Amino acid sequence: MRPHLHIPSYIGCENANLSFNFNPTLNIAGGNFTSSPSGLNLNSTSGIITPFGSSTGTYTIVYTTPGSCPGATSVLFEVYPEDDPTFNYTQNSFCESFSGTITPTINTIGGTFSSSPDGLNFDTSNGEITPAMSSIGTYTLEYTIGALCSSVSSTIIIINNEDDSTFNYSDNIYCQTNSSSVTPTLAVSGGIFTSSPLGLTINATTGAISPSISTVGTYTIEFTSDGICSTTSSLSMEIKAPDDATFSFPINFYCKSTSEIVTPTLNYIGGSFSVSPTGLDLNMTTGGVSPTSSNVGTYTIEHTTSGLCSSTSTFTLIIKPVDNPTFTYPDNTYCQGTTEKVTPTLSIFGGTFTSSPSGLNIDFLTGEIDTNLSAVSTYTIEYTSEGICAGTASFTLVINDFKNNPGFSYPVFIILHKRSINCYTNNRDAWRSIHRQVHWALI
């Protein structure tokens, strides 16, 4: 009888399960199995084929019956290589902020993708991933080929959260007078700071700014993190100039006799004034000074502004005393006939004299009076010093008529001696008149 050999399948996969076997069907048992070429995992007694562990290729299996008249039969059996399910992405870590899609390179087209856990947004056919629509996490992505020798390949995909590059300073406005360094608070460490326009002194690593050596202006500061999923945040920063606290008065000194309120010119309206030492009558709000109610002295006035970038400026003001001139004449009454000129004694020289009413002959520089050229009257003489804070003194002086001079008791007296007459008078006209009368009387 001719032997007959049948195998359930004449194709096997090298990646088949270890327990998966092909058991032949025989019409004559007890024979022997051989295969060629070598490489097929074949039991020579039972004829069981185990594809797992076999080399890929086409084999001729020969079954030879036992006995004195053996018979032989053969079949072909092919071991296929496993399908290549390998695939890869350009990288296995992506940022959630990535707005595009990532498609893998696949060695065998036609399989199916799956992932675990849930949360990864991908295409099951081509493995295309959309990070921006995926949840943050780590995923196992598998690709299964459903062909003859099906196989599975996997890779790890990580969707990373984007860096939190936010940062802030304690304030967004700093005065140029701020001498300290200002450091920001960061949500993530590591990155680079930049600013624009030029002019802000900033540490590129720490973000610390130095207002005192920065230019006044408004700046945009950017911080870019250096993590895998780098991001950039920005904020606005202003460096302000200090308030202009300078102020001035029309002059830097005033006489105590100044009766009006002296008000300063301010470059910054608002703030407060202070003064040292005490003694100056100063309005702390307006800076107005009242010299008449202030003490004589030298004062330092300070004006401190009330703005965000407050500053202080000073001004030196002097309150001067008023001159106290005095003068006197030897007497306060003079006769019109006095021949000599009368000169005053002065405490302060260099001033000027005036008199009222008119009629007194007085030198306005020296105060010298010529009584012979002055009219009879009572005069008020004033002397005003020529100093910065001039003062005025007065003196009352009387010019009498000669006959009212209390130094003369008798304006005319006559001595009769025999027939001669002697007349004495200080007035020539009076003498002539008396002499004429007496003369005619004696005749």
The residue ranges of every structural domain in the chain are 5-80, 87-160, 167-240, 247-308, 327-404, 412-442
297 has pLDDT over 50: yes
Give the pairing type, strands 265-266 and 272-276: unpaired
Give the pLDDT confidence score for residue 435 in this predicted structure. 45
Q: Read off the pLDDT of residues 133-142 as tens digits, 9 standing for 90 and up.
A: 999 999 999 9
pLDDT band at 407 (very low <50, low <70, confident <90, very high): low
Mean pLDDT confidence for 109-124: 95
Tokens read off for 11: 């194709």
Q: What is the pLDDT of residue 83?
A: 82
Q: Do 167-240 and 87-160 fall under one CATH topology? A: yes
Topology of domain 327-404 in CATH is: Immunoglobulin-like (2.60.40)
Q: Which of 218, 213, 176, 180 is nearest to 310 (CA)?
A: 176
Mean pLDDT of the residues in the chain: 89
Mean pLDDT score, 150-155: 91
The confidence score (pLDDT) of residue 212 equals: 96
Q: Which residues contact 53 (CB under 8 A, 6 or more apart)?
A: 14, 18, 41
Dihedral sign from CA coordinates of 340, 346, 350, 355: negative
Each residue's pLDDT tens digit, 233-267: 999 999 999 999 999 999 999 999 999 999 999 99
**Residue-level pLDDT at 339:** 63
Phi, psi of 349 (to 5 degrees): -95, 160
> Tokens 């899609």, residue?
101
Fold of 5-80: Immunoglobulin-like (2.60.40)
Topology of domain 87-160, CATH: Immunoglobulin-like (2.60.40)
Compute the distance between CA of residue 170 and CA of residue 179 in angstroms, rounded to an integer.
Answer: 15
CATH level 2 (architecture), domain 167-240: Sandwich (2.60)
pLDDT for the residue numbered 403:
59
Find out whether 190 and 179 touch, Cβ atoms under 8 Å: no
Residues 195, 201, 204, 207, CA torsion sign: negative
Whether residue 443 is predicted with pLDDT greater than 60 in this model: the reply is no
* pLDDT for 429: 44
Distances in Å between the Cα of 432 and the Cα atoms of 344, 408, 435, 442 are 38, 19, 5, 16
Q: Which residue has the tokens 């007497």?
A: 331
- 425 has a pLDDT exceeding 60: no
**Cα 185 from Cα 250, distance rounded (Å):** 50
Q: What is the mean pLDDT of residues 253-282?
A: 96
| Inter-residue long-range contacts of 356-359, CB under 8 Å, 24+ positions, other chains counted | 356/380, 359/399
**CA angle 157-159-162, nearest 5°?**
155
Per-residue pLDDT tens digits for 356-397: 999 999 999 999 999 989 999 999 999 999 989 999 999 999
For residue 82, what pLDDT is reported? 82
| Amino acid making up residue 121 | N
